[in-house]
Amino acid sequence: MIDLNGKVAAVTGAAGGIGAEVARALAMAGARVVLGDVQAERGEQVAQQIRDAGGQAKFVVHDTSNEDQWIAFINAALDNFGGLDILVNNAGIEQTCFLENITVADIQKLLSVNVTGVLIGHKHAVRAMKPGGRAGKGGSIINLSSVAGLIGTPGLGVYSASKGAVRLLTKAAAVEFGRLGYGIRVNSIHPGLVETEMGEKLLNDFVSLGMFKDRDDAYTQMKAAHPLGITGLPSDIANLALFLASDLSRWMSGAELVADGAMTVS
What whole-number distance in Å separates Cα of residue 182 and Cα of residue 128?
A: 11
pLDDT, averaged across the chain: 97
Containing H/E element for 126?
A: helix 117-129
pLDDT of residue 266: 76
Q: Are residues 204 and 186 in the same domain?
A: no
In a domain, 3, yes or no: no
In a domain, 1, yes or no: no
Residue 159 known to be catalytic: yes
Task: Please identify which of the residues 59, 159, 177, 212 carries the catalytic annotation.
Answer: 159
Q: Is the pTM of this model over 0.95?
A: yes
Say which DSSP state 156 is in. Answer: B
What whole-number distance in Å separates Cα of residue 54 and Cα of residue 37?
A: 22
Confidence at 1, pLDDT banded by 50, 70, 90: confident
Taking only the tens place, the pLDDT of each residue in 203-257 is 999 999 999 999 999 999 999 999 999 999 999 999 999 999 999 999 999 999 9
Q: What is 1-21 written as a DSSP string?
A: ----TT-EEEEESTTSHHHHH
Q: Are residues 139 and 91 in the same domain?
A: yes
Q: Are residues 142 and 224 in the same domain?
A: no
pLDDT of residue 154: 95
**Counting every residue, how long is the chain?**
266
pLDDT at 195 over 90: yes
pLDDT of residue 121: 98
Taking only the tens place, the pLDDT of each residue in 121-132 is 999 999 999 999
What whole-number distance in Å separates Cα of residue 122 and Cα of residue 10?
A: 12
Torsion angle of C-alpha atoms 192, 29, 49, 81, degrees rounded to 10:
-110
Q: How far is CA 97 from CA 103, 155, 264, in A?
A: 10, 5, 22
Q: Are residues 30 and 74 in the same domain?
A: yes
Q: Are residues 179 and 119 in the same domain?
A: yes
pLDDT at 2 over 90: yes
Q: How far is CA 64 from CA 27, 61, 77, 197, 229, in A?
A: 22, 10, 15, 19, 34
Beta bridge partners of 60: 36
Q: Are residues 224 and 118 in the same domain?
A: no
Question: What share of the chain in percent tops pLDDT 90?
Answer: 99
In a domain, 265, yes or no: no
In a domain, 266, yes or no: no
Q: Which of 104, 58, 90 is nearest to 77 (CA)?
A: 58
Q: Are 50 and 33 in contact (CB under 8 A)?
A: yes
Say which DSSP state 200 is in. Answer: H
Q: Are residues 136 and 199 in the same domain?
A: no
pLDDT at 55 over 80: yes
Q: Are residues 89 and 217 in the same domain?
A: no
Q: Are residues 138 and 239 in the same domain?
A: yes
What whole-number distance in Å separates Cα of residue 171 and Cα of residue 31?
A: 26
Taking only the tens place, the pLDDT of each residue in 64-99 is 999 999 999 999 999 999 999 999 999 999 999 999
What residue numbers bound the domain in which 206 lies? 194-231
CATH number at residue 113: 3.40.50.720
In a domain, 141, yes or no: yes
Q: Are residues 213 and 135 in the same domain?
A: no
Say which DSSP state 148 is in. Answer: G
Taking only the tens place, the pLDDT of each residue in 135-180 is 999 999 999 999 999 999 999 999 999 999 999 999 999 999 999 9
In a domain, 263, yes or no: no
In a domain, 33, yes or no: yes
Q: Are residues 122 and 247 in the same domain?
A: yes
Q: Are residues 48 and 140 in the same domain?
A: yes
The count of structural domains within the chain is 2
In a domain, 46, yes or no: yes
Confidence at 45, pLDDT banded by 50, 70, 90: very high
Taking only the tens place, the pLDDT of each residue in 246-260 is 999 999 999 999 999
